[in-house]
Amino acid sequence: MPEHLAISFPHMGGYSIVFTQLMSHLFPTARVFPAPPMTQKTVELGSRHSPDFVCSPFKYNLGNYIEALEQGANVLFQTGMGCRYGYYGELQEQILRDLGYKFQFLCLSRERAQPMALCRSIRELGCTLPLSQMLSALLLACESIRAMDRYEYWMRESMGFEVAPGSCEAVREQLFEAIARADSLQDLQRAKSRCKQATEAIRTNKPPNPLRVGIVGELYTLMEPSSNFFVEQQLVRESISVSRAMGIWFLLFGKNHRQALKNSGPYLWHTVGANGVDSVSQSFAYAQRGYDGIIHMKSFGCIPELNATPALMNLSRDWNIPILHLSFDSHTSETGVQTRLEAFADMIRMKREEDGVANSQFGRGHRFGVHQGRSGG
Ligand code: SF4
């Protein structure tokens, strides 16, 4: 066990703030810091030392670990389940050891993610807090995640219509800073109230029926914006209202596999691994709610999302809703993604206009529900 703990972990969206908050409460004397910000160098480092065929979350995380170790980290965290990611930790640890780094690796996957095993790992790392304080820290972290996810959900839907550019982002930064400093649920409650007031003060000129796009797909690609070239921000610049249900709160407390399968309607009969079922059930909901388009994002080689793709294609055909499939890895061209997004935005805009003409000619309800039969998937 290192004498002075320097704890670090990979990035995934803004959640590193909450993980820093949690670890700082559990290990008050430790130096806790997220891996350095994602850059091209991070991706290059991770890719250089990863098996070529492995999916990009592995490569991004490995790049994060290397940069964190270079900054003096001596304890690294890894967690993940639901697909082969649950088996990546051992391989990442071995690669880092082969590179000559000395560190402790806490891999909280599979059975090690069970509450008792988790508690044991934290204790073994030197946490001496009573159980009640550990639980308080955990509760604060969960509530922080809920506050972040709620605000970001609203922000994605509204940011494309803000009157003063940057006002949504400014409130987000304030909220995140307050979460990083929060020591108790009372602190968090005060931060949420300030955020609510600031949100109400943001002026938007959102039309009653804006263009709406739903985002579904592989969780890491969805939640780590640098891994998808900030797709959501690009859509927002096109004045599109963006919806994405996937977030850590959803994964921890909202995910219900059986319900998702049921909500996939005629498009899935069986599970397809990881979050593939969620991609289908959420897409089905977007289609039923009359969204203008869906973007399906995944890492190159992601089997669960590949499995979900035929069901999504059937859904696209039946509901006449365009779905843009984007696959990312370390070789993906940012310009290529931008061009496809611009074309997609133009296409759904034109389709909206054409459907408007068709609806006025044939009456409303012409657009959806062409075929409701079981299409397979
Ligand atoms: S869900 Fe897909 S991309 Fe994500 S870790 Fe699993 S296989 Fe890789």
If asked whether residues 158 and 248 sit together in one domain, one would say no
Separation between Cα atoms, residue 47 and residue 62, nearest integer Å? 8
If asked whether residues 146 and 278 sit together in one domain, one would say no
> 374 falls in which pLDDT band (50, 70, 90)?
very low
User: Is the model's pLDDT at 365 over the cut of 60?
Assistant: no
Q: CATH number, domain at 351?
A: 3.40.50.11900
Strands 293-299 and 241-243: unpaired
Claim: this prediction has a pTM higher than 0.85: yes
Taking CA atoms only, the protein residue closest to ligand 1 atom 2 is 302
Taking CA atoms only, the protein residue closest to ligand 1 atom 6 is 83
Of the ranges 41-55, 109-123, 327-341, which one carries the lowest mean pLDDT score? 109-123
End-to-end CA distance of the chain: 50
Beta carbon of 299 within 6 Å of any ligand 1 atom? yes
Strands 75-78 and 212-217: unpaired
- % of the chain at pLDDT higher than 70: 94
Å from CA of 140 to ligand 1 middle: 29
Q: Return the ligand 1 atom nearest residue 55 CA.
A: 8
Beta carbon of 31 within 6 Å of any ligand 1 atom? no
Q: Is residue 86 one of the residues assigned to a domain? A: yes
Separation between Cα atoms, residue 92 and residue 112, nearest integer Å? 16
Q: Is residue 134 one of the residues assigned to a domain? A: no
Separation between Cα atoms, residue 219 and residue 247, nearest integer Å? 8
Separation between Cα atoms, residue 80 and residue 277, nearest integer Å? 18
Question: Residue 325 CB: number of other CB atoms within 10 A?
Answer: 17
Å from CA of 172 to ligand 1 middle: 28
Helix 56-70 crosses helix 88-98 at what angle (to 10 degrees)?
40
If asked whether residues 123 and 159 sit together in one domain, one would say no
- % of the chain at pLDDT higher than 90: 82
Q: List residues bridging with 31 in a β-sheet.
A: 6
Q: Is residue 1 one of the residues assigned to a domain? A: no
Å from CA of 321 to ligand 1 middle: 26
Q: How many Cα atoms occupy the beta-carbon half-sphere of 145 within 13 Å? A: 23
Beta carbon of 118 within 6 Å of any ligand 1 atom? no
Q: What's the confidence (pLDDT) of residue 376?
A: 39
Number of folded domains that form the chain: 3
Å from CA of 92 to ligand 1 middle: 15
Q: What's the confidence (pLDDT) of residue 84?
A: 85
> 360 falls in which pLDDT band (50, 70, 90)?
low
Q: What's the confidence (pLDDT) of residue 112?
A: 78
Q: Which whole number is the average pLDDT over 62-72? A: 97
Strands 75-78 and 31-32: unpaired
Q: Using alpha carbons, list the distances in angstroms from residue 237 to 158, 205, 233.
A: 11, 14, 6
Å from CA of 57 to ligand 1 middle: 7
Q: Which whole number is the average pLDDT over 115-128? A: 90
Give me the domain span that covers residue 150. 141-206
User: Is the model's pLDDT at 268 over the cut of 50?
Assistant: yes
Mean per-residue pLDDT of the chain: 91
Cα-Cα-Cα-Cα torsion 79, 247, 151, 237, nearest 10 degrees, comes to 120
Q: Return the ligand 1 atom nearest residue 298 CA.
A: 3
If asked whether residues 259 and 199 sit together in one domain, one would say no
Å from CA of 234 to ligand 1 middle: 24
| Contact between residue 31 and residue 6 where contact means Cβ atoms under 8 Å apart | yes
Ligand 1 pocket: which of 12, 50, 54, 55 to mutate (most atoms <8 Å of CB)? 55
Q: Is residue 190 one of the residues assigned to a domain? A: yes
Cβ density class 60-85: b for 16+ within 10 Å, e for less: bbbbbbbbbbeeebbbbbbbbebbbb
Beta carbon of 86 within 6 Å of any ligand 1 atom? no
Å from CA of 145 to ligand 1 middle: 22
Q: Is residue 354 one of the residues assigned to a domain? A: yes
Beta carbon of 75 within 6 Å of any ligand 1 atom? no
Cα-Cα-Cα-Cα torsion 301, 302, 304, 306, nearest 10 degrees, comes to -50
Q: Which whole number is the average pLDDT over 43-48? A: 95
Q: What's the confidence (pLDDT) of residue 358?
A: 67
Question: Residue 299 CB: number of other CB atoms within 10 A?
Answer: 24
Beta carbon of 224 within 6 Å of any ligand 1 atom? no
Higher local confidence (pLDDT), 70 or 111: 70
Question: Residue 239 CB: number of other CB atoms within 10 A?
Answer: 16
Q: Which whole number is the average pLDDT over 172-187? A: 97
Beta carbon of 84 within 6 Å of any ligand 1 atom? yes
Beta carbon of 274 within 6 Å of any ligand 1 atom? yes
The token duo for 52 is 């070529």
% helix, strand, coil for the chain, step of 5: 60, 10, 30
If asked whether residues 249 and 336 sit together in one domain, one would say yes
Note the pLDDT tens digit of each residue in 240-263: 999 999 999 999 999 898 999 999
Q: CATH number, domain at 114?
A: 3.40.50
If asked whether residues 112 and 30 sit together in one domain, one would say yes
Q: Is the dihedral of CA 232, 236, 240, 241 positive or negative?
A: positive
Q: What is the DSSP letter of 184?
A: S
Q: What's the confidence (pLDDT) of residue 333?
A: 86
> 377 falls in which pLDDT band (50, 70, 90)?
very low
Which amino acid appears at position 264 of this protein? S
